[in-house]
Structures are given as C-alpha cells and as structure tokens.
A and B are shown apart, each in its own frame.
Chain A
Amino acid sequence: MNTEKILELRDLKKHYPILGGVLRREVNSVKALDGVDLEIYRGECLGLVGESGCGKTTAGKTIIRLHDPTSGNVYYYGQDERPEEAVDLGSTKRSALKKLGIRGRLQMVFQDPTTSLNPRMLVKHIIAEPIKEQVSLSGRDLENRVIELLELVGLTRGHLLRYPHEFSGGQRQRIAVARAIATDPEFIVLDEPTSALDVSVQSQILNLLKGLQETLSLTFLFVTHHLLVVKYISDRTAVMYLGKIVEIARTEEIFSRPVHPYTHALLSGIPIPDVEHKQRRMVLSGDVPSPVDPPLGCRFHTRCPFPLDRCRRDEPPLEEVENGHKAACHRKSEIEKLVRERFGDGAGAM
C-alpha cells in the first residue's frame, strides 16, 4: 500500500456557535468535530462511518475548507512538493488557496443530487462551471472537454443540452461526479453519494466510482453511514463517534477484528441480506448524546456495555493496537473477550 500522505489532519476542531440572549452572544457550541487526527494516503479510499450527527459530513467539508476550522491544521501535500512544503488548508487565505491551484485539486460530491445541481442550468454549464474557474478554454475546447467528462461517467453528448430535472436520480449523481472530476482533482470527498439512490442504481454508481478511482488515480474520502458500502469500496475505514475518531484500520481488519465496543455494536447492527447468516445482536441502549455537551471521559461510556470508573474520568487516546490499527478505548485488549462472554460467539466480529 502507498504510504505517501496527501492530507494530514492534526487535532482538527469545528465548533458551531449557539447564539442566545438579546445581544446574540455565543452561549454554547455544537462540538461537531472535537480533535480529529487523521492521515489520508495518496490513492486510497478512506471510508468514514458513524451515526447521524457524529460529524462525518462536517469533517469532509472542513477538510476541503468549505467551513473554516475552529482550530487545528489540515496539511495538504501536493504531488511535487516536498513534505516540508505542506500547505495548511485551515489557515491559508482562500484567495491564496486559489492562486496555488489547490481549490481545483480538492473536490466534493454531495449527498442529494437533486439539491446539489442548479435546476436553472443546463448540464453543459453545470459541468463547465468549475473548468472555467480554473483555466480559460475556447468554447469548442470547453464543449469537447465536457463531452469527454460525460462519457467518462457513462452519459452521452445527447445529454448536453438538458436540465437536471430531466434525469433520474442515478444520472443526476453521475452529473455531480462529472462536475467533481472536471478540474482533474487529486482528492474527492464523497458525502453519502449513494444514500439517496435505489439499490440497483447504487451499485452502478459504486462501480463507476471504483473505475474512476483507478483510471484517474484519485484519492477518496467516502463518508457514509452504510457499512456494507464502505466494506465494498474502501481500503481503510475510520469510525467516528461524537466528533472523534474511535477506531481506524484497514477495512478487512475493522470487519474481522474490531476493537472498540462501538465498532462491535455498529457491525452487529447491520441487517445482513443473507438468511443463512444468523448472528447474535449486540444492541446498544439509549441514544447518541448531544454534541453540545458531550459526556466527560470516554464519550462512549454512557452507552458502552463495559464501562469502568476510569472511562468516566479520562478520555482514552487513539493508540496503535497493531500495525496501522488504532483504537481509542481503555479496555482495548480485553474487549473481544468481554463481547464474546456477554453476547455470545459471532456477535460483532465475523
């Protein structure tokens, strides 16, 4: 596997203020991202999973600087720059980012293609818009480039002069993908690209993305709540809970030998489309706590089946278990045994 970093997140935080009182002062904040450390390697597909409200989307948006981070750094290592010349996306000015040409190299595909495409623009203009921002091409060159992009995502030149509402959900998502790859990016954040689509169309889009990643040598951050999709598409998987990464490892490792109890619960909660595969459930009680005031100590202790006193006091750091497999849990060495004792064989790990 490639170990050349493309992005590095250091203690990244994003807090959304809650305004209150007559003077609209900040009274509290939603801690959407609360100290995320993450490395993304060139050419890989990193899956980011978690429940709704855990900060997955915020992470994606903050990395490509659609939001300004509250604190922390996002280092971007360009193709030819040496490591010491990494650009901090979090603190560089937006105009400087554009001048360096970094904006075009980081792109995003949004969740719902019906709302992310402008209904008043022709497909031709939608796809041409990001190209025009970066380089100036003649009309004919531009059109040829757009047709080339459309063909890459499995559409034809016949679709050029149509409006988004004339397409089905899957085709709209293809247009959104075409727009994202229009500027020859290196890194794309895919924010739940298939959750608004049907099963049969979902597989088309997943295969398209996989193909594009190979042909254009792209790096993906695949944000989703659907674990089986992550298993299919990503090389490494990071699990988020309440604005923190609780476990990160190679995808096969996460699915075969999860460490964090939350990962165990997530995996055993997936309904599996296979009748023979009957397993014991590890059902968590309660709901995700509010990110406005997350629990003290380990954030998961309120729902964890095996909390210790220590978990209520100290926050566990994200530590290495074995090569590249990191988890944030005080009892990481004994969790597997505990899960097996409490929930029987086959719960969680498969």
Chain B
Amino acid sequence: MATLLETADLVTNFYTYEGVVKALNKISLVVDHGVTFGLVGESGCGKSVTVRSVMRIVQEPGCIEGGKVIVYLDEKNTEAGVDLLQQSEAYMEALRGDRISMIFQEPNAALNPTMSIGDQVSESFLFHQRQEMCTKVLKDLCAAECRTFYPLRKFLQRVYRMAAEDPDCVAVRILDRIPVIKRWQKRLKREVKRRSVEIVGKLGIPNPEQIVEQYPHNLSGGMKQRIVIAIALACSPVLLIADEATSNLDVTIQAQILELLRRLKEEVISSILLITHDLGVVAETCDRVGVMYAGNLVEVADVRDLFGKPLHPYTKALLDAVPKFSMEGTLRSIEGNVPNLVTPPSGCRFHPRCPQTMEICVKELPSLIEIERNHTVACHLFQIGSG
C-alpha cells in the first residue's frame, strides 16, 4: 500500500516555566492510504501533540524542534513527497481543511458561538474552493436558459470571469467594497449555501436547510460533533485526523458517530488518523494501531496482532487494565503514575513501571524494530532476543 503520511524523528518541546517538556521524543510513524490508523495512550503521552505537529498548529510555548513530516497526497505518485515542516505558512493554510483536515475534541470549543452553522460550514468552501465555485457560477450564467436581464448578465459574467481567474485581483477587491455592486457575490453565496446544505445533509442530519440557519447553542452535543465533522469533510480531504472525536459523547451517540465515520471512510475519505484513549473504539474501527507512552511510540501493529499478541509490556498492561465483557477476577493495574516529561526517566521511559525491567532499560532508550511483518516494538526484551 502506498504511504500517505510519514513522520521521521519528530521532536516537539514545550518551553514552560518549570523547564522544557519533551513532549515528543523522535516519533516515527507511517500512515498508508486507505487505512484507519489509531493512536492510543494515556493523557499527556503526546498523542495530540503528534497530530498538531503534523498540522503545524502546535500552540505556544510549544515548538517543533526537528524531524520530518512527509505527505504523499497522490496515491499513484509515490515520489512526490512534501515535507510539511519546510513549507511556507501560506502552503499550510491551503492544505489544512482541504487535503488534510482535523476534528477537534470538544465540539463546543471548536464551533464559534456567534456564527450560524451555515456560515461556519461555508467558510472552508469559500477559502478553498472559491475559484472552482466562481467557474461554476460563470457556467450557469453563460448557459442558454439563464434569463437574467441582459446587461446585468454581461456584467456578472465579466466579474465572475475575473474572480475565477484570480480571486485576489485588484478589480474584484474594489468591486467588493462598492455598495450595491458588491451584491454580485449573491450567486456565489447561493452556491456556497447549496454545497453546505448538501454536506450537512450527507452526515445524516435531518432537515439540513433549517439547521444551517441555526447557531451552535441550538444543537445537542452529538449534532454539534456532526457539524464539526461536516466542516472537516467539506473539501473531501485525503486524510482526516480525529482528535478524541467521540470522547465527550454518550455511548449511544458515540455509536452513531463511529458508524458515520466508518461509512464516510468507505465513501469519501481515504484515511483516518484516529486519536483516542479508549481501546474499545480502537478495536472496533481501526486497521492499524500505534501505542504511545510518555512521548515515545512503543508499539505499532495491525489491530488483530496488537490485541491478539501484544509484545511491549506497556501494551500488555494497558490491555489488562481495561474492564472487559468476558472477565473474571480482579482487574490488574499498572503501578505508579505517568512520568513528568520535564524530567523523564532515563533510558526506556517505561522502566520505573515495567514488571520486566533489566539493567539496560535504565541506561538506553530502545529503538523501534520490526519483530514480525508489520509489527514493530521498542523494547529491550526483544532487541536482545533478535540480536
């Protein structure tokens, strides 16, 4: 399968008053086209920071210190990789929300309470597809059945032709300022609204025409999350990043959203990068899983292998710590707490909590090595075994 996203030795640090928080310690992961990749771990292990680094939206005082984020947007052309960390901010702006988009954790915080749903959905159309939409409006105006008053039609055709060629050209910008004349945009807005209603309707929201007129506070949590997904899917992205998209929702609503994501993946999007702390969600939706602990990627495997025969002691412990359906006896727990990343433990960061600690674990950080096909793990237990 062709690679879609590849990060190599990604390092992100946060400069806080307590010291440098080493949030990501050389993360290297690969997401293929057509795959749902799950990233699991406890809070504070760097899952969100990883995807924020990929999108280059790490907030202050965070800073991406090194590594590479290469995307291969075209499935056929495996040579044309782009290192996102080397690109300009303008390039990233054009990419975010268009080719790669993101769903955030808290739908209440992700939606603007002062804008109507329709306006928020249409923002991404207006930003990424303005030219295409102008061309479409122009085509309608030139069509034979267009019955607009002739001089007005001539004028509109000219403006839309200009806007379709270069939406930022001076003439268009001046026309946007003049009262009455700026109403040339009406047809563009109509087209945007049509598209918004279409995408909102596609996500299984009843009567989308009414919903786009409403404001976020009118909707319930599950509906809001659907709108956030609609915004992310507006421009049919290649990669959808879902950062804890269902964590704050109820079980029945969560089932609805997961079902929706699964359906959308078959129809629209190519790959999903799903971030979650819920192993149940991972088992149900993902094809491949990466387990993170304290800023390190400790194990990557296909979902069957990971749940069937986990190799890393942390993965094993994590799986044992979750209450399951068919379970007897007491739940096993991992002793101790997640380490503070200002002063992470030396060597393998899991060694203070690991039941199988060896001398080498305290000194050296294990690297990710492939034990079986498509199953990599970072642990000294296996490095000794293999060589």
Taking beta carbons and an 8 Å cutoff, which residues of A are in contact with B?
51-52, 168, 170-171, 198-204, 206-207, 210, 225, 227-229, 231-232, 255, 265-266, 268-277, 281, 283-285, 287-288, 350
Q: A210-B330, A287-B223 are in contact. Are A268 and B325 (CB under 8 A)?
A: no
Please tell me if B284 contacts chain A, counting CB pairs below 8 Å: yes
Interface residues on B, range: 35 or more
Once bound together, how far apart are the Cα atoms of A271 and B254, in whole Å?
9
Which 4 pairs show the lowest CB-CB distances between chains A and B? A271-B280, A203-B333, A269-B255, A273-B279
Taking beta carbons and an 8 Å cutoff, which residues of B are in contact with A?
42-43, 220-223, 250-256, 258-259, 277-285, 303-304, 307-308, 317-319, 321-327, 330-335, 337-338
What B residues does A227 contact at CB under 8 A? Answer: 251
Q: Is the CB of A171 within 8 A of B252?
A: no
What B residues does A277 contact at CB under 8 A? Answer: 283, 325
Contact sample, A vs B, 29 pairs, CB 8 Å cutoff:
A51-B251, A168-B337, A170-B337, A198-B42, A198-B43, A198-B277, A199-B277, A199-B318, A200-B317, A200-B321, A201-B42, A203-B321, A203-B333, A203-B334, A206-B323, A229-B323, A231-B325, A231-B327, A232-B327, A269-B255, A271-B280, A272-B325, A273-B280, A273-B283, A274-B307, A275-B283, A281-B255, A283-B259, A288-B250
Once bound together, how far apart are the Cα atoms of A229 and B250, in whole Å?
15
Max chain A CB contacts within 10 Å: which of B220, B284, B308, B330?
B284
What B residues does A275 contact at CB under 8 A? Answer: 283, 303-304, 307-308
Max chain B CB contacts within 10 Å: which of A266, A268, A269, A270?
A269
Partner of A228, one of B43, B220, B322, B332: B322
| Nearest CB on A from B236, distance (A) | 24
What A residues does B317 contact at CB under 8 A? Answer: 200
Q: A171-B337, A198-B42, A232-B331 are in contact. Are A272 and B251 (CB under 8 A)?
A: no
Partner of A269, one of B254, B277, B319, B338: B254
What B residues does A266 contact at CB under 8 A? Answer: 251-252
What A residues does B282 contact at CB under 8 A? Answer: 273
Once bound together, how far apart are the Cα atoms of A281 and B256, in whole Å?
10
Q: Is the CB of B284 within 8 A of A272?
A: yes
Question: Chain B residue with minimal CB distance to A284?
Answer: B252
| Nearest CB on B from A204, distance (A) | 4
What B residues does A198 contact at CB under 8 A? Answer: 42-43, 277, 338
What A residues does B43 contact at CB under 8 A? Answer: 198
| Nearest CB on B from A123, distance (A) | 16
Question: Chain B residue with minimal CB distance to A350?
Answer: B325
Once bound together, how far apart are the Cα atoms of A106 and B122, in whole Å?
54
What A residues does B285 contact at CB under 8 A? Answer: 271
Q: Is the CB of B222 within 8 A of A199?
A: no
| Nearest CB on A from B32, distance (A) | 19
Question: Chain B residue with minimal CB distance to A255?
Answer: B325
What A residues does B284 contact at CB under 8 A? Answer: 271-272
Q: Is the CB of B278 within 8 A of A207?
A: no
Once bound together, how far apart are the Cα atoms of A184 and B221, in whole Å?
40
Once bound together, how far apart are the Cα atoms of A277 and B281, in whole Å?
13
Once bound together, how far apart are the Cα atoms of A266 and B222, in whole Å?
16
What B residues does A274 contact at CB under 8 A? Answer: 283, 307, 324-326
Once bound together, how far apart are the Cα atoms of A105 and B56, in whole Å?
54
Q: Is the CB of B250 within 8 A of A52?
A: yes
Question: Chain B residue with minimal CB distance to A200?
Answer: B334
Q: Is the CB of B250 within 8 A of A272?
A: no
Once bound together, how far apart are the Cα atoms of A276 and B326, in whole Å?
12
What A residues does B281 contact at CB under 8 A? Answer: 271
What B residues does A228 contact at CB under 8 A? Answer: 280, 322-325
Once bound together, how far apart are the Cα atoms of A259 and B325, in whole Å?
18
Q: Is the CB of A273 within 8 A of B42?
A: no
Question: Chain A residue with minimal CB distance to B256?
Answer: A283
Q: Is the CB of B283 within 8 A of A271?
A: yes
| Nearest CB on B from A211, distance (A) | 9
Max chain B CB contacts within 10 Å: which of A204, A227, A275, A283?
A275
What A residues does B324 contact at CB under 8 A? Answer: 228, 272-274
Q: Is the CB of B256 within 8 A of A284?
A: yes
Max chain A CB contacts within 10 Å: which of B258, B335, B337?
B337
Partner of B250, one of A171, A202, A225, A276: A225
Question: Chain A residue with minimal CB distance to B258?
Answer: A271
Once bound together, how far apart are the Cα atoms of A199 and B319, in whole Å?
9
What A residues does B303 contact at CB under 8 A? Answer: 275
Once bound together, how far apart are the Cα atoms of A231 and B280, in whole Å?
15
Question: Chain A residue with minimal CB distance to B284?
Answer: A271
Once bound together, how far apart are the Cα atoms of A210 and B333, in whole Å?
13
Q: Is the CB of B333 within 8 A of A200?
A: yes
Q: Is the CB of B256 within 8 A of A271?
A: no
| Nearest CB on A from B157, distance (A) | 46
